[in-house]
Amino acid sequence: MELTITPKAQEWFKKEMEPTDDQGIKFYGKVYGKTQVHDGFSVGIAVDTPEKTLVKETIGSQLFFIEEADEWFFKGYDLEVDYDEELDEPKYKFN
């Protein structure tokens, strides 16, 4: 599994979320919503401290990660995080 953050998405996270030095942006599966590969679940985001990471990506000093506990949601897919200019929020693509 790979985690890709586009430059536009990275800028959005930098502007909107403020993790401390030991924290990062966590992606996880949450109840309600829909993705292109899940019904009833969507991608959640939170500022959090990594514990048991499944995958992580550091861009500059900014950490993005998925925990092992959320493997069920991402298993078999790569996650690409981009920025939706119309909605001014991240958008997610499962490959």
Q: What is the mean pLDDT of residues 37-64?
A: 90
Give residue 51's pLDDT.
95
Domain residue ranges in the chain: 3-94
> What is the mean pLDDT of the segment spanning 30-56?
86
How confident is the model over 26-51, as a mean pLDDT? 85
| Res 75 pLDDT > 80 | yes
Please check the confidence at residue 41 and state whether its pLDDT lies above 90. no
pTM recorded for the entire structure: 0.91
Q: What residues contact residue 71 under an 8 Å CB cut-off, 6+ apart?
A: 54
DSSP state of 32: E
CATH 3.40.50.300 assigned to domain 3-94? The reply is no
